[in-house]
Amino acid sequence: MITDINVTPLVDIVLVLLIVFMVTTTYIVNPSIKVDLPKAATGSETTKTSLSLSLDKDGKLYLNGQPAAEAAVTTFIGSELPKNPELQAVIAADKVVAHGDVVHLIDLVKRAGVRRFAINVEAGGPLTPTP
């Protein structure tokens, strides 16, 4: 007579469900920063990132959804780059932010050691530039 309950099938089902949820989960972007992204007709999705930088319409800098100074960005990159040499920065800037501010942020990221970056845009924009 068997007195124990076999939990192996239960563990198998739980692990399969865990794997299914992990595979189907998408990268969730923190929507707390109000950034009106410029539109672009072309572009592709990027999901591998651990460095999200945002410039709001007032020029305030955010690192992974939290307000940050330039020194904090450099420090964060310095601590993350040894753990992830393929670190990619995704830069989101409001469309009213000056081009020079975005270039300065790109330069800051590159000087800190990040070689790959992407500019976050909204899909479905015009093919011709707007004035």
For 64-112, how does the pLDDT look when each residue is reduced to its tens digit (9 = 90+)?
888 999 999 999 999 988 988 888 888 888 888 888 898 899 899 989 9
User: 59: pLDDT confidence band, cut at 50, 70 and 90?
Assistant: confident
Which token pair is 79? 């601590």
Contact 63, 72 (CB under 8 A): yes
Structural domains of the chain ordered from first start:
39-123 (3.30.420.270)
DSSP for 34-52, written as a single string: ---PPEESS-------SEE
Higher local confidence (pLDDT), 52 or 126: 52
Helix 70-80 and helix 99-111, axial crossing angle in degrees, nearest 10: 40
Helix (H, G, I), strand (E, B) or coil at 74: helix
CB within 8 Å of 114: residues ≥ 6 apart: 51, 77, 81, 87, 88, 89
Residue 119 has pLDDT above 90, yes or no: no
